[in-house]
Structure 1
């Protein structure tokens, strides 16, 4: 598969790259400061970008830097063509580590080095299932597959080192599907007894639901 880079965000932890993996050829139809339209013969993708607002977080929490990618993917043909979205930290220091940091309706990883700590988060299988059952920018027919129970143990998204890959399911012509990825990073801060305190804010920051971002999806917004 070929990789098509959508965006690269420079942070204190390294560069966070959002890309497509596909055998198809993609191109940018247009770019604005906070939006991009990307297409191939079989797909179009509207990518909206914004940042975390500290007013979204609990009192006394804040994030120093953040980036949000909101993705609406539309199938433009009935031709079956595998497509993946990938978000991953690259170009990082040798002391950088990552770990799992999931929560309710949340797939997330925690990344840190000597100076910075941060998270990358996205919806998990249960969040996908709920949206499918509501036909909320996710086709209803996928609701029976998604989740973590014994009868339906499936998600579009999988963990990789320092990031995630989302496997776009087979869509019919005219169908569309929504995904988002959130990164939030703070400089480390320690309590008097040596407990790192800044990471809890970045975890809360990536734990956001789709409803908060729907306003960004209009091409005229």
Structure 2
């Protein structure tokens, strides 16, 4: 589903990855870990085309990332970072925002679809009317996840998405993202998260190396 082939990634002239390879099958849950600054978050960003490769290629479901395909690849992937940008005034508007665009117009979710999902993510119905600037970082993470799930995304790139969550909220997020149909590439230092992943990959000497959990 996601393939990094012989990728070389440089940021500010610093080589983070050099001829690295990683292949993730559909439905796999993979976590990347390593020392600060080794390139974990940059790996996720290059999968979105947000960081250019110095060499190699990235493919999503057989489609190679390029200037011509980056929009289509981004439409298939959900990226959730530590501090998601919701891009709207209220939480309700943030959840509805993607459905104002041409690709999803006419498919806007109803409250009957939204409210059960919010409940599963330990969010109250009242949060829909709150301004996005007044909700916490952990709530923003869960709203971003809810928005992606409402779009029926099944490929997730998740960067430390449990960092701002209490144990109950973390368990709720993991229950949603570790469903069998979801392909998950993540960065995390959380032992609970790492323990649930199928594979653990470290960044060592600019390479992506399989590790034991």
- Give the TM-score normalised by structure 2: 0.26
